[in-house]
Amino acid sequence: MSHKVRRIAAITALSILPLACGGSPAEGPQPPPPSGAAKSEPSTSAGSSASKDAPATAEEAQRFVAQVDRDLRKRWVARDRAMWVNQNFITDDTESMAATGESDTAEYVTRAIQEATRFDKVPGIAPEVQRQLLLLKLAQIIPAPSNAKERDELAEIEAWMTGAYGKGKYRPPGGSPLAKAAGKYLKADASKAKAPAGKADTSYTLGDLSRVLSKSRSYDELAEAWTGWHSISAPMREKFARYAELGNKGAREIGFADVGALWRSGYDMPPEAFEADLERLWQQVRPLYEQLHCYTRAKLRDKYGKDKVPEQGPIPAHLLGNMWAQQWDGIYDLLEPYKGEASLDVGKSLKDKKYDATKMVKLGESFFTSLGFDALPKTFWERSLFTKPEGREVVCHASAWDVNWNDDLRIKMCIEPTEEDLITIHHELGHNYYYHQYYKLPILFQQGANDGFHEGIGDTLALSVTPQYLKGINLLTAAPDNPKANINQQMKMALDKIAFMPFGLLIDKWRWDVFSGKTPKDKYNESWWALRTKYQGVSAPGSRSEADFDPGAKYHVPASTPYTRYFLARIYQFQFHRALCKASGHTGRLDTCSIYGNKEAGKKLAAMLSMGASKPWPEALAALSGETKADASAMLEYFAPLRDYLGEQTKGMKCGW
């Protein structure tokens, strides 16, 4: 599903620090990060009269973080108000308003981090203050160098790369497979089909090309769509190399070996230990992924032939229904286990029962109140956007907000009476209730326990939207336990959640190697495809060279958005779900559990959410589950029925690549 939300800032602003919720791993371009509009104070030192050459003290550190809290709150409230207006009234003026504070915010945070280094070795600092100092130092994705000229150059490169991505289009040459099919995949948006089929003046956006990848079953059309989009990123190569150089300089100025080390330092363990832990989690999941890969490769070989899809070896990436082969639900029609086994039609029930957008959100709210959580504040209903308004452009991508950082909860989405949107509402409200539980904490603690927790929570709550839950709220008249329908449903979920796992891991692995210097500029593409082959078992449609820059064809690379959070979120959501189901007293299969109506599960959930980032994430996890390590075994338990099915289907096949 593509209902992820966006709360994390990108570019030179605040990496782990919450904004309007969101950040789908799925696609781009996305809106630019919110920007604060407040003016810089002359100092972040809380008005201390102590000389900067004098030894720092624990008392000064306390005053410092208190001042930073006030400064950041002012900036982020102004930034989020501007972004809310921009996303609800898209004009050149509101875009300018939303972007106005970006440079000021980056400059302020850079200066605050540099001042915070004065307290690195000061004895006697209270643990709560130490943690805020740590979170502040981790608060830039790409730390800007202190040199103003280099800081401006870095900002210009980042703006150029995201702009190049957002403007990217592919114009097929006359007579090519896509030129001949120009109108076929644009029928849903006839205004884009400016030229007759077969003409060469039709340009394809990422959305158009993604539609080709999910709808076309022509090998040549798919190959051209994939290659066409990946051509837009080749000019980024030189810019990206300079960007890495400048970012590393900024990271070293605040005490990190490189940008990758900074990113890996946000998980309450040494960077090298965190990287090893990710590999441990991947090895837990890998057997299930390899089963799914083996099954999928066989089905694609049946469709396209042995000359296109090998019996062993990687799958050509353009055949998997997604531009980055990160999720495979676009080819579900080719992989459906039991053809014609109808799924439960919740959308029809919503329409028959005349559910409008507000009624659907009320239904989502009732899920949380059934757990013992508060009703949403009156302002939520007054300030949220539930439907696309007439006569103005809005960003319909679903997102959850606390605009004033003071329980000013809202969601923004263009709700339709569909099952997907009902699940999305539960997901978004999961973020809102996370904000509600921690909004009284210092602002640096107002975020998930780590950057994977927020997305994990949103998806955890969505896992409880089961047929049994839907029957309990009268959206289904019955919830039969049909094994074939269950396998179909598990396959749909696995093509999203399991297929994604290696891709969620390798994007940052590639960047970490670039930042550390392990991967030099003349090996960028070679390293990229080595990782994609090693982890995903996919290959490019044709030959690729160092004239290409295929990592830049994924939004999160030019937009400086760390990606490991999405890998972790998929692990956490099942671990959270299992713990909540255990607290609720559930004794059946994990995939049949819904915690709806269970106050004990609600208490466990509230205990974790209320901690925000005030404690290391293992302590937050322990508050919910009693566990202190991330563990993928819950994911494997959830998909046990599908694992059995795939084992039978792939028996005797040569799996792996």
Catalytic residue among 3, 230, 293, 397: 397
How far apart are alpha carbons 161 and 166 in whole angstroms? Answer: 9
Q: Is 3 a catalytic residue?
A: no
How far apart are alpha carbons 496 and 214 in whole angstroms? Answer: 14
Per-residue burial over 578-603, b if 16 or more Cβ lie within 10 Å, else e, is bbbbbbbebeeebbebbbbbbeebbe
Nearest C-alpha neighbor of 4 from the set 563, 608, 631, 484: 563
How far apart are alpha carbons 606 and 577 in whole angstroms? Answer: 14
Q: Is 431 a catalytic residue?
A: yes
Rounded-to-5 percentages of helix, strand, coil across the chain: 55, 5, 40
Q: Is 455 a catalytic residue?
A: yes
Kind and range of the H or E run holding 146: none
How far apart are alpha carbons 132 and 124 in whole angstroms? Answer: 15
Catalytic residue among 428, 555, 563, 623: 428
Identify the residue whose tokens are 């994911």.
635
Name residues whose C-beta falls within 8 Å of residue 96's C-beta, 6 or more positions apart in sequence. none
Rounded to 5 degrees, φ, ψ at 14 are -110, 110
How far apart are alpha carbons 201 and 586 in whole angstroms? Answer: 59
The torsion of the CA quartet 130, 131, 133, 136, rounded to 10 degrees, works out to: 180
Q: Is 436 a catalytic residue?
A: no
Helix, strand, or coil (residue 77): helix
Per-residue burial over 335-365, b if 16 or more Cβ lie within 10 Å, else e, is bebeeeeeebebbebbeeeebebeebbebbb
Catalytic residue among 3, 293, 426, 427: 427
Catalytic residue among 293, 431, 454, 586: 431
Catalytic residue among 13, 56, 182, 398: 398
How far apart are alpha carbons 440 and 451 in whole angstroms? Answer: 19
How far apart are alpha carbons 288 and 501 in whole angstroms? Answer: 10
Catalytic residue among 108, 185, 204, 566: 566
| CB 620, CB 611: distance < 8 Å | yes
Amino acid 18 reads P
Catalytic residue among 115, 221, 365, 455: 455
Other CB atoms within a 10 A radius of the CB of residue 282 amount to 19
Nearest C-alpha neighbor of 387 from the set 361, 364, 358, 414: 414
Cis peptide before 467 (omega within 30 of 0): no
How far apart are alpha carbons 628 and 211 in whole angstroms? Answer: 42
Cis peptide before 33 (omega within 30 of 0): no
Catalytic center residues: 397-398, 427-428, 431, 455, 556, 566
